[in-house]
Structure 1
Amino acid sequence: MFRRVLSEKRKTGSVPVYLNVYDLTPINGYAYWFGLGVYHSGVQVHEVEYAFGAHDFPTTGIFEGEPKQCPGFTFRKSILIGRTDLGPKEVRALMGKLAEEYTGNTYNLITKNCNHFCNDACLRLTAKPIPRWVNRLARIGLFCNCVLPAGLNKMKVWRHKAEVGICEGEKKNLRSHSSRFVPSSSSSSILIQRRPVL
């Protein structure tokens, strides 16, 4: 007699990992329904949202802040990507490792934007990618690169200037709540915080 063996579904972790998606333009209200749009995204884990933005320095472009509250963007939706067993310190160590690759001066709207960062972070946290529609316009732009204006590839959607001032699109009162820290790794990169580390 054959025994039917049921495979147990492997647990993927206890801590939820969300992708928070923001609209970059009001046109997204219409484009979203056609599977298009221009989006900013951040990865939320342990009640902290990590995202990637541009600046002119070879230090990290990764910053953290309050979930669903990224200044300058309109929150659209939160998507559960998966779960992780990494604790807060391990997540910050992972972000420190990603900080070496995602420096502010390497940001590119088509080839290395906030959605690319979120996809990499989600793959490392949950082994699952972000939904394809979130970064579809960048993929289309990659194939239509010769048709796009030359300046678009170097366009910086969101700039944070760690060393010289406040972010474009941010209100001045947010500056008093910003602080920086050096990741625990040996890297000299800094993560830009939207709230102080306690």
Structure 2
Amino acid sequence: MFTGIITEVGRIRAIATKGDTRVTIACAMDPAKIAIGASIACSGVCLTVVDRGGAPGDSWFAVDVSGETIRRTAPAQWHEHAALNLEPALKLGDELGGHIVTGHVDAVGHVVSVDRIGGSWHVVVSAPQELAPYIAAKGSITVDGVSLTVNDLADQADGSCHFMLNIIPHTAEVTTLGTLAPGREVNLEIDVLARYLKRMQSLAAAS
């Protein structure tokens, strides 16, 4: 379980494909505190640490990424030198500063527009039809692993929806969201509470 509050931005150091894809990610974590088998969300994708090394401030960890995971997530994140938003799994007693995030990407969306307004960025993201019923104004959504609040949304004729975000300067500086540009694909995870509410609504309508 995660919160969508990013602890640092890592960068892919190496990729090797032998069956699954072994991805080595450079970071600043203390490798002594990265347990083999631990979960780390990488731009919203929950992955399991299979190796680690280096020193605090100049460390790395490795994860194995299945072909299914690569197919269902934003393709641009799976190449050498790509920047990734990193968040270790939530520990008992940690502050829940964002919202409950599972690290399971529901779909890939794409950025429609990015406009600078004051010191912040106004970002519009297109979500596919299957996610549209789960997105609501003032609700939570995870974009590339970052917990965000939906400012507004507009349903589209094809069943998809465009939702609007406000990225404040701090968030832009400490995550990869400061580099968003039109056309870029992003990992989306809907609020887990919205998922259950939609299921309950479907059951109520069927009864």
Superposition TM-score, scaled by structure 2 size: 0.25
Structure with higher helix content: 1
Structure with higher strand content: 2
Tell me: higher relative CO, structure 1 or 2? Use CA pairs within 8 A at least 6 residues apart: 1
Superposition TM-score, scaled by structure 1 size: 0.25
